[in-house]
Amino acid sequence: MIVAAPALDANYRHNANILYAYQKTSFIRLCQVAALMTANNPATDIDALLASEFPVTQHLNYLNHAAVAPWPKRTAAAVHVFADECVNEGSSHFMDWLELENALRERLAAFTGASSANDIAFLKNTSEGLSVVAHGFPWQPGDNVVISDEEFPSNRIVWESLERFGVEVRQVSLRSGKSPEDALLSSFDGKTRILAISAVQYVSGLRMDLERLGSECKKRDIAFCVDAIQALGAIKIDLQAMHIDFLAADAHKWLLGPEGIAVFYCSEKWRDRLALHQYGWHMIEHHFDFDTKVWEPAASARRFECGSNNMLGIQALSASLSLLEEIGMKEVENRVVANAESLVELIDSRDTLELITNPSPGRLAGIVTFKSKIVPTEVLHSVLTGSGVVCAMRGGGVRFSPHCYIRGEKLAAAVETAASVTK
């Protein structure tokens, strides 16, 4: 039975049912999802599609995707449908839920360039994924991990927690070398075991050259761990081309999904070399054989999922991901970077504003941070938010982070408001 989502217009009840039909058809995969959604969505033009998916733009200037993103309407519709099913039918379709979960792993493997869906696990958040690596890695006293001095606490605290085991944490200034990558690479020595870096820095928006870093790590037999929360869904990530060993990213930023679910990638090379610290029914190989007394960890990345997964989060992420798949990450990235470039140009043209973000070619993703030359950041932020511009204060400045659906006139209006604040 396919039920319509309540309290949504006819178009989105229609699309909710398309998504629901998808989730109940285990044979539909990535390429078919894009075709299915495009064929059945009246708005086939990308600009029109995005406008229809994000009504938030009608009353807010939403430049805060580096914090928490609004959902597309299709995601709300999918959650409505799932909730309605749970109310009326309970878990009668539990096996269909599992099919959707497995299909989502396949789609995320394709989306990230993983070699197999077996490399993908669903965890609660980025911090959990990084903790799985930090506390599962086969450290020896005297080993070191290299991070930058610009990391979000999630990619710092997990490594600092290892110091009591004799692991040195090297925080490297990204401005201490000819390039950020040179600074990191020059800090390696014979005891370096992991390079842990954000793909995009959360304050400055600095975009790292992951392919170069990954290639150097591979040459030196150093594990490469990436916090991708400010990248996945904004720019293209290719795990194999970038030689990434571990990656973690929440769904609630650039992936346009809910909080409480994260993508975790572990390469096959490292999968059974990470010690496990969370155990439960779901992480064993034959997890539906409830009567067995003999067990072993799953051969796949499911070994990192100790208990039941967040099925509501999976439904929502599946819907959000379908929008990015439908548009295509090349187009998404082009639009995100173009927005950042526009912001840089607009801010640079204003005498009262000063960029914090490095605008050099190849260094922009979705984040642009700046400050006023005249008023404190708190005042600037207060005026912006009072004018309907949703943004954040980070690193002594105001951070704008528009996604691909934000139009140029919204960016110009936000910068105009910021430049006009003189007291």
Distance, in Å, from the CA atom of 120 to the CA atom of 267, rounded to the nearest integer, reads 9
Beta pairing, strands 368-372 & 223-227: unpaired
Domain boundaries of the chain, sorted by first residue? 100-325
Q: How confident is the model at residue 422 (pLDDT cuts 50, 70, 90)?
A: confident
| Neighbour-count burial of 72, counting CB atoms closer than 10 A to its CB (0-12 exposed, 13-18 middle, 19+ buried) | buried
Q: pLDDT tens digits, residue range 282-328? A: 999 999 999 999 999 999 999 999 999 999 999 999 999 999 999 99
Q: What is the pLDDT of residue 35?
A: 40
Q: What is the pLDDT of residue 36?
A: 45
Q: Which one has a higher pLDDT value, 260 or 35?
A: 260
Mean pLDDT of 157-165: 97
Q: What is the pLDDT of residue 423?
A: 76
Residue type at 167? V
Q: How confident is the model at residue 123 (pLDDT cuts 50, 70, 90)?
A: very high
Q: How confident is the model at residue 44 (pLDDT cuts 50, 70, 90)?
A: low
Residue 376: half-sphere exposure toward Cβ, Cα within 13 Å: 3
Q: What is the 3-state secondary structure (H, E, C) of 156-207?
A: HHHHHCCHHHCCEEEEECCCCCCCHHHHHHCCCCCCEEEEEEECECCCCCCE
Taking 60 as the threshold, does the pLDDT of residue 29 lie above it?
no
Beta pairing, strands 144-148 & 192-198: parallel
Q: pLDDT tens digits, residue range 77-100? A: 999 999 999 999 999 999 999 999
Q: How confident is the model at residue 42 (pLDDT cuts 50, 70, 90)?
A: very low
Looking at 90-136, list the stretches that DSSP marks H as alpha helix, in order from N- to C-terminal side.
94-112, 126-134
Name the CATH topology of 100-325: Aspartate Aminotransferase; domain 2 (3.40.640)
Locate 368 and state its tokens.
């642009």
Q: pLDDT tens digits, residue range 339-390? A: 999 999 999 999 999 999 999 999 999 999 999 999 999 999 999 999 999 9
Residue 375: half-sphere exposure toward Cβ, Cα within 13 Å: 15
Q: What angle do CA 179, 359, 204 make, to 5 degrees?
A: 75
Q: What percent of the chain has pLDDT over 90?
A: 89
Taking 70 as the threshold, does the pLDDT of residue 21 lie above it?
no
Q: What angle do CA 404, 410, 413 make, to 5 degrees?
A: 150
* Residue 212: CB atoms within 10 Å: 16
Distance, in Å, from the CA atom of 38 to the CA atom of 81, rounded to the nearest integer, reads 20
Q: pLDDT tens digits, residue range 395-414? A: 999 999 999 999 999 999 99
Which residue matches tokens 């072993």?
296
Q: What percent of the chain has pLDDT over 70?
A: 90
Q: In sequence order, what DSSP letters do the residues of 338-377 get, joined into one string?
A: HHHHHHHHHHHT-TTEEE-S---TT--SS-EEEEESSS-H
